[in-house]
Structure 1
């Protein structure tokens, strides 16, 4: 835990000094009063300042980003990280020149990193915290690829009248296939198998 000891004329002044040093709000710290202020003889002789210890409460997102940066540093890759929120959670999008290593085959390395980053974030959060890790918008490109694949395979099923079983996919990618064909008038989709080998099946209705 990160801690500092600060002083001031009053407890409030000491706390404000500490918060200014860290550039955080009061809800990010635990306050431990070490010494109460005293005015001393005649109001100034022997007077004592207030002394408090501030303990920084870790921020889930900051800790997750720090963890991610440490991993990337060991891989000798230079990246920047942009962040924004949407209804799915907090999105961390990495940008750089050597992202292929971080993405891996069909995004498998990216998924593994995302899993680890979420474990770290939720260690420091009182409620469920979801981080979606991306690399130069790979997730959106992958989504479009899967949607196009779903439509091509649906056409194959209609022509051959035989079901098609896709390769194993994670739950998020299976969800994309299901969503793309959900309203299809001829084919239906369902999943079968156990993780991590669960697959989407496209079949005639």
Structure 2
């Protein structure tokens, strides 16, 4: 499931090219490029901490309604609030088979944060370590494909992936000399291609 800012990148060729290879622009973290305050009156790190607290409260209420057990942990990584839920036996239901439920829950949590702060959130939600495991798996895949392309000199095209997944693969490929990657295709067919330099 595409997040609104990711959907914009998918429909804009220039943004799509940058979707997995360039870092987020400064204004996305709640600060303007000159470091001024955002509309909430908070500065960067303070806003991210507040986002994490709001998200934690929202998710705690959701777990209570569902009668699920889970420990909520909040952190700030880079320019993003990160909230994770771990420790409960029913948490797989909040992930879904392919992460689709987790994507929907992340978007609802972002909207709950935005409702209180007035600022669009880029918060990342993980449940039962699903995203962390996926990141490890995709990093291995990207590195492996990059090494094959480097050694064999032949381009390799991967299966369609979400923007989250493509970003991880692009980062892994970028760490290998002699190769580079691009995103090709549109919408649900968008995929990473790894090419020799």
TM-score range, shorter chain: 0.5 to 0.7
Greater length-normalized contact order (CA 8 Å, ≥ 6 residues apart): 2
Gaps of 5+ in 1: 1-58
Deviations 1:28-62 (A, max 9, x none): xxxxxxxxxxxxxxxxxxxxxxxxxxxxxxx7655
Assess, with a 3 A threshold, how the Cα gap between structure 1 residues 196 and 64 changes in structure 2: closer, same or farther.
farther
Distance in 1 (alpha carbons) for counterparts of 2:85 and 2:159: 27
Deviation at 1:197, TM superposition (A): 3.1
What secondary structure does 1:97 align onto? coil
- Aligned positions, number: 147
Distance in 1 (alpha carbons) for counterparts of 2:71 and 2:185: 38
Distance in 2 (alpha carbons) for counterparts of 1:143 and 1:60: 23
State the Cα RMSD in Å: 2.5
Where does 1:4-23 land on structure 2 (aligned, <5 Å)?
Answer: none
Distance in 1 (alpha carbons) for counterparts of 2:93 and 2:165: 20
Counterpart of 2:59?
68
Counterpart of 1:165?
157
Gaps of 5+ in 2: 1-49
Assess, with a 3 A threshold, how the Cα gap between structure 1 residues 75 and 84 changes in structure 2: closer, same or farther.
same
Q: Is the 8 A contact 1:174 1:199 kept in 2?
A: yes
Deviation at 1:161, TM superposition (A): 4.1
Bigger CA radius of gyration: 1
Counterpart of 2:72?
81
- The one of 178, 184, 188 aligned to 1:192: 184
Deviation at 1:168, TM superposition (A): 2.2
- The one of 142, 156, 172 aligned to 1:150: 142
What secondary structure does 1:105 align onto? coil
What secondary structure does 1:196 align onto? helix
Deviations 1:63-116 (A, max 9, x none): 544443444445442222121223232221101222222222343322221111
Distance in 2 (alpha carbons) for counterparts of 1:92 and 1:142: 16
